[in-house]
A and B are shown apart, each in its own frame.
Chain A
Amino acid sequence: MGTFAYFPHTEEDIKVMLERIGVSSMDELYADVPSEFIHRGEYDLPAAKSEDEVRAWFEALASRNVKLTVFAGGGAYDHYTPSVIPYITSRSEFLTAYTPYQCEISQGTLRYIFEWQTLICSLTGLDVANASMYDGPTAAAEAMRMCVACTRKRNTVIASSALLPNVLATLRTYARYSGINLVETWDIAEAVSEGTLDLAGVVVPSINRFGIIENHTGLASLVHEMGGLLVEYCDPSALAVVKTPAEWGADIAVGDGQTLGIPLSYGGPYVGFMACRSEWMRKLPGRIVGQTSDAEGRRSFVLTLQAREQHIRREKATSNICSNESLMALWCTVYLSVMGPEGLRKVNSLSYQGAHYLHDRLLATGKFSDPFEGRPFLKEFALQPLCDVAKLQQALLDKGFFGALGTEEGYVTFCVTERRTREEIDALVKTIEEAEL
């Protein structure tokens, strides 16, 4: 006893507690458990490790990952993380806090969520945002369910085949079990105009899986005419420069906050965001923070509109979401405070210029053609390889690059963020030029 750092109990403490309870051993506290269910043997786990041993274990594993220079996107982007962010988010008052149900001792959490909601509204142009979702794909799935809830008895959702693969996959999963009729199509306008009285909503990407910034002129009014809601799946970083969901006339915006300075981290934790027009406010899933005041008139923040949520409404709730990604919402909130409008514009400008430089250099190698010539892109683009894709990918890996991500359609995509230097881009191009593909 008393030899494990996280257990404060001495043998004497345990004796005192057992006496107060009136039992002779801790085992007696499990007398109500049928004895056949008590696990008496040793657990097949390693022996307890010291702090240094734990650190060494992980460092050994981490060294088995190959460090690659990332020229790929596909839903996760290698943007820069200002050092301020991990410093702030590792403050234990944020990190070790519970969900802010006790608002009087959670004003820090509640205020940053209120700031996050405001920032998401600024980026998307929409009226109301929630406190966060798990990630972009699950936020899209919740938006799909929300379309059905907002249009009552309608049950068909049309999704663009150009959405990121992991977004489509997650939509398919949620649709399958929720009983939603999910229709995937490359031609949204045609699918919507074909007409169905059952249309609940349409989900389209602001920037699609090939990196193209889509033109949604006229789409919202078409969807609205058919009685459905328009959902835009967006990259929040790119919203600093590309047309916003509000400008396209969308009802709901969702996406992944990862591009707001969250490291790649093998895919998580990231954070989903969700915003909508105010008329759909009471159908939003998840937590929402609102402003009010206390008896002395001090500005105060609370979780509000809770009649939508699972702990009040149980099976009639708008969603089952409870814990979300609060600390990652703080991460993005600090990121946007650091970057400001100029910084975020510059991230996009640097990424755009690097990506266009790489795009042109790759075409010049003669090993690719451009299937989407003339279509606008930002930091990610797709090319048609005129060579063996597997060999291409391996040649890049051999030189420490991760790029030429294959798509289901036979293209390869590349991505350039503000972190990629001219030297890195030139080295990537040289690798491809010199490789026998």
Chain B
Amino acid sequence: MRYYDKLVFELSRPGRSAYSLPAEPAGESGFAPVGPVWRETPLDLPELSEPDVVRHYTNLSQMNFGVDTGFYPLGSCTMKYNPKINEELVSLFNGVHPLQPESSTEGVRAVYDFMDKALAEITGMKHFTFLPCAGAHGELTGLMLIREYHMSRGDTARTKIIVPDSAHGTNPASAAVCGLEVVVVKSRPDGLVDVEDLKPLLGPDIAGIMMTNPNTLGLFERDIKEIASLVHECGGLLYYDGANMNPLLGVVRPGDMGFDVMHLNLHKTFSTPHGGGGPGSGPVGVAERLVPFLHKPKVSGFHGNFGVIVRACAYILSLGRENIKLAGKLSTLAANYIKESLKDSYKLPIESVCKHEFVFDGLAEHGEVTTLDVAKRLLDYGFHAPTIYFPLLFHQALMIEPTETESLQTLDAFIDVMHKIAREAADDPELLKTAPHNTPIGRPDETVAARQPILKYSKQ
């Protein structure tokens, strides 16, 4: 990676262009946009030739790290390998208009039908909607379905949703957007939902509970059966946050555990690329009794992120019924391997078998060195940083998730570097506090960025 300090606007020269359009219009009416509804402000867009454009964005790309560059030990984000065959299939559907009549879109519908059946089989749900464009969008849609279910029964007092203190930030945020009041249930010292703390929260005002299982500590909520029956007894429903579905892929089905509604992140569990922050896809599955409401909330413009669904479909076809049974298990194996290999150098707050991820509470002997310093130093060694300072249960949280697509050699190299960083922390803490040193930029001043926001380019 090397630093490149240009913005597209700085490469602009009046009179250059990179477009290629027909010279002649189809009609000859002329185009004279003058009058009250037409733009008067000059249009300030960059003017570049095609080689300029290609070089600029290629140079930008070279300041980026991706799954194809190296290992992402990134908790709760499942950065697995993105298969290349999946990419080439998307363009087969480029020309299909979203409002075309069904008689002309049989192929497209077949992809949706296949995915509905496949995801239902993998998760134990009955049917899926594919409208949500991301995980948080799926959460919101799922909560809407829960509200519809209660409203259809005249059960309008159910306005509260229970969320564990270890939950992803999107859970309470989605609940708030859906008009639900968040009630927090505590975790026990062993990291699992405290059933005794849960019991008094349950009542006729509870719409349901949002659970992540395994939770964000990577621990399987082993009391799930009791939790499910308690919540169901009080009239509430169970929502499954699919962000952590990967270790259960091919092993456990959320529907079998009593979950009524769930979302999947196709850009996590089903191998579609993260794209630097989307596009994702967050299909929502429901148990039988919620099927009547499944297509009621219109949460996006057309049919969801079809291109992402195509990629996930290709992944399931490649995986097949044979390999799917190994996917989750291999991710769990890799996480436990790293955990056992590093627990002498890093503080393991909860000694337990983990699933696809686990959390350290910083260095075992940290001195002045923080989790942020460790994360930044990892960048110097060619690894992405783990998820840090989440979950909020531990002050120096460092959350590691390796996925099933990393080889033993990669895991060992990561483990070696993590040990080395622990030694550096003891011998030369300054080296970590000033890291990273080998990246295109060093740690930027984030305070200035927030206090005096510069959010767009302006000519000097």
* Contact residues of A between 1 and 43, Cβ < 8 Å to B: 4-9, 13-14, 16-18, 20-23, 26-27, 29-34, 36-39, 42-43
Closest 10 A/B residue pairs (Cβ): A357-B27, A48-B320, A267-B302, A267-B98, A327-B275, A343-B19, A269-B279, A108-B64, A96-B66, A310-B173
Q: Provide the bound-state CA to CA distance between A50 and B225, in Å.
A: 39
B98 to A264, Cβ gap below 8 A?
yes
A241 to B39, Cβ gap below 8 A?
yes
- With most chain A CB atoms within 10 A of its CB, the pick from B99, B107, B121 is B99
Q: Provide the bound-state CA to CA distance between A339 and B29, in Å.
A: 23
Q: Provide the bound-state CA to CA distance between A256 and B219, in Å.
A: 40
From B174-182, B231-239, B362-370, B419-427, the one touching the partner chain is: B174-182
B89 to A91, Cβ gap below 8 A?
no
Smallest distance from the beta carbon of A92 to chain B beta carbons, Å? 4
Smallest distance from the beta carbon of A243 to chain B beta carbons, Å? 5
Q: Provide the bound-state CA to CA distance between A239 and B147, in Å.
A: 39
Smallest distance from the beta carbon of A82 to chain B beta carbons, Å? 7
Q: Provide the bound-state CA to CA distance between A286 and B13, in Å.
A: 33
Write out the residue numbers on chain B whose beta carbons fall within 8 Å of the beta carbon of A305. 450, 453
Convert A222-258 into 0s and 1s, putting 1 for each residue whose CB lies closer than 8 angstroms to a CB of B.
0000000000000000011111101100000000100
Write out the residue numbers on chain A whose beta carbons fall within 8 Å of the beta carbon of B275. 94-95, 97, 325-328
Smallest distance from the beta carbon of A81 to chain B beta carbons, Å? 8
* Contact residues of A between 147 and 192, Cβ < 8 Å to B: 166-167, 169-170, 172-174, 177-179
* Contact residues of A between 56 and 77, Cβ < 8 Å to B: 57-59, 61-68, 70, 72, 74-76
Convert B1-43 into 0s and 1s, putting 1 for each residue whose CB lies closer than 8 angstroms to a CB of A.
1010101110000001111111001111111010111111101
17 contacts between A and B (CB under 8 A): A6-B271, A8-B408, A96-B69, A97-B276, A105-B436, A108-B60, A117-B456, A173-B297, A213-B37, A215-B37, A269-B133, A281-B453, A294-B442, A310-B169, A323-B278, A350-B25, A357-B28
A65 to B107, Cβ gap below 8 A?
yes
Chain B contact patch, size range: 35 or more
Interface membership of A324, Cβ < 8 A? yes
From A121-129, A196-204, A380-388, the one touching the partner chain is: A121-129
A128 to B101, Cβ gap below 8 A?
no
B94 to A263, Cβ gap below 8 A?
yes
Q: Provide the bound-state CA to CA distance between A295 and B439, in Å.
A: 13
* Contact residues of A between 361 and 386, Cβ < 8 Å to B: 376
Q: Provide the bound-state CA to CA distance between A360 and B455, in Å.
A: 45
B25 to A353, Cβ gap below 8 A?
yes
Q: Given A38, A62, A347, A397, which contacts B251 in the complex, CB threshold below 8 Å?
A: A38
A48 to B61, Cβ gap below 8 A?
no
Interface membership of A277, Cβ < 8 A? no
A323 to B436, Cβ gap below 8 A?
no
Q: Provide the bound-state CA to CA distance between A346 and B19, in Å.
A: 10
A320 to B276, Cβ gap below 8 A?
no
B448 to A292, Cβ gap below 8 A?
yes
Write out the residue numbers on chain A whose beta carbons fall within 8 Å of the beta carbon of B97. 68, 70, 72, 76, 78, 264, 266, 402
Write out the residue numbers on chain A whose beta carbons fall within 8 Å of the beta carbon of B404. 6-7, 9
Q: Given A7, A18, A26, A293, which contacts B323 in the complex, CB threshold below 8 Å?
A: A7
Please judge, given known A-B contacts A265-B307, A405-B99, whether A94 and B337 are in contact too, CB under 8 Å: no
- With most chain B CB atoms within 10 A of its CB, the pick from A6, A127, A309 is A6
Write out the residue numbers on chain A whose beta carbons fall within 8 Å of the beta carbon of B1. 105
Interface membership of A193, Cβ < 8 A? no
Write out the residue numbers on chain A whose beta carbons fall within 8 Å of the beta carbon of B170. 310-311, 320, 322
Q: Provide the bound-state CA to CA distance between A320 and B169, in Å.
A: 8
Smallest distance from the beta carbon of B82 to chain A beta carbons, Å? 5
Interface membership of A389, Cβ < 8 A? no
Q: Given A26, A98, A132, A174, which contacts B329 in the complex, CB threshold below 8 Å?
A: A26
Interface membership of A195, Cβ < 8 A? no
Q: Provide the bound-state CA to CA distance between A291 and B92, in Å.
A: 39
Write out the residue numbers on chain A whose beta carbons fall within 8 Å of the beta carbon of B53. 84, 88, 334, 337-338
Convert B425-440 into 0s and 1s, putting 1 for each residue whose CB lies closer than 8 angstroms to a CB of A.
0000000000010011
Write out the residue numbers on chain B whose beta carbons fall within 8 Å of the beta carbon of A74. 99
Interface membership of B100, Cβ < 8 A? yes
Interface membership of A205, Cβ < 8 A? no
* Contact residues of A between 83 and 106, Cβ < 8 Å to B: 84, 86-88, 90-100, 102-106
Smallest distance from the beta carbon of A356 to chain B beta carbons, Å? 4
Convert B269-313 into 0s and 1s, putting 1 for each residue whose CB lies closer than 8 angstroms to a CB of A.
001011111111000000000000000011111111111101000
B179 to A178, Cβ gap below 8 A?
yes
Interface membership of B340, Cβ < 8 A? yes
B301 to A268, Cβ gap below 8 A?
yes
- With most chain A CB atoms within 10 A of its CB, the pick from B25, B140, B175, B178 is B25
Interface membership of B229, Cβ < 8 A? no
Smallest distance from the beta carbon of B334 to chain A beta carbons, Å? 7
Smallest distance from the beta carbon of B68 to chain A beta carbons, Å? 4
Write out the residue numbers on chain B whose beta carbons fall within 8 Å of the beta carbon of A22. 340
Q: Given B44, B320, B456, which contacts A114 in the complex, CB threshold below 8 Å?
A: B456
Interface membership of B58, Cβ < 8 A? yes
A118 to B98, Cβ gap below 8 A?
no
Q: Provide the bound-state CA to CA distance between A205 and B53, in Å.
A: 32
B301 to A135, Cβ gap below 8 A?
yes
Q: Given A37, A256, A310, A354, which contacts B256 in the complex, CB threshold below 8 Å?
A: A37
Write out the residue numbers on chain A whose beta carbons fall within 8 Å of the beta carbon of B332. 26, 29-30
B455 to A128, Cβ gap below 8 A?
yes
Q: Given A5, A131, A281, which contacts B277 in the complex, CB threshold below 8 Å?
A: A131
Q: Provide the bound-state CA to CA distance between A49 and B66, in Å.
A: 27
Q: Provide the bound-state CA to CA distance between A145 and B178, in Å.
A: 11
Interface membership of B318, Cβ < 8 A? yes
B408 to A354, Cβ gap below 8 A?
no
Smallest distance from the beta carbon of A298 to chain B beta carbons, Å? 5
Count of A interface residues, CB-CB < 8 Å: 212
Q: Provide the bound-state CA to CA distance between A74 and B333, in Å.
A: 49
Please judge, given known A-B contacts A20-B337, A104-B441, whether A75 and B95 are in contact too, CB under 8 Å: no
Smallest distance from the beta carbon of B314 to chain A beta carbons, Å? 5
Q: Given A43, A80, A122, A292, which contacts B445 in the complex, CB threshold below 8 Å?
A: A292
Minimum CB distance partner of A8 in chain B: B407
* Contact residues of B between 83 and 115, Cβ < 8 Å to A: 83, 85, 87-101, 103-108, 110-111
Interface membership of A290, Cβ < 8 A? yes
Please judge, given known A-B contacts A54-B318, A292-B449, A304-B449, whether A338 and B50 are in contact too, CB under 8 Å: yes
Interface membership of B156, Cβ < 8 A? no
Minimum CB distance partner of B298 in chain A: A169
Q: Given A44, A100, A118, A294, which contacts B9 in the complex, CB threshold below 8 Å?
A: A118
B98 to A43, Cβ gap below 8 A?
no
Write out the residue numbers on chain A whose beta carbons fall within 8 Å of the beta carbon of B188. none
Interface membership of A270, Cβ < 8 A? yes
A132 to B133, Cβ gap below 8 A?
no
Q: Given A5, A172, A320, A402, which contacts B298 in the complex, CB threshold below 8 Å?
A: A172
Write out the residue numbers on chain A whose beta carbons fall within 8 Å of the beta carbon of B273. 95-96, 327
Smallest distance from the beta carbon of B398 to chain A beta carbons, Å? 13
Interface membership of B63, Cβ < 8 A? yes
Interface membership of B321, Cβ < 8 A? yes
Minimum CB distance partner of A61 in chain B: B107
Q: Provide the bound-state CA to CA distance between A437 and B434, in Å.
A: 76
* Contact residues of B between 311 and 368, Cβ < 8 Å to A: 314, 316-327, 329-330, 332-334, 336-337, 340-341, 352-353, 355
B300 to A302, Cβ gap below 8 A?
no
B277 to A100, Cβ gap below 8 A?
yes
B96 to A290, Cβ gap below 8 A?
no
Q: Given B26, B44, B118, B277, which contacts A324 in the complex, CB threshold below 8 Å?
A: B277
Convert A301-318 into 0s and 1s, putting 1 for each residue whose CB lies closer than 8 angstroms to a CB of B.
110111101111111110
Q: Given A115, A138, A298, which contacts B8 in the complex, CB threshold below 8 Å?
A: A115
Q: Given A86, A121, A298, A304, which contacts B3 in the complex, CB threshold below 8 Å?
A: A298
A337 to B18, Cβ gap below 8 A?
yes
B333 to A29, Cβ gap below 8 A?
yes
Please judge, given known A-B contacts A26-B332, A265-B93, whether A104 and B307 are in contact too, CB under 8 Å: no
Given contacts A29-B329, A57-B317, 20 further A-B contacts (CB under 8 A): A6-B318, A7-B323, A9-B330, A49-B320, A92-B67, A100-B276, A102-B65, A109-B276, A127-B456, A173-B297, A179-B179, A241-B39, A242-B33, A243-B36, A263-B95, A266-B108, A268-B306, A311-B170, A353-B27, A353-B29
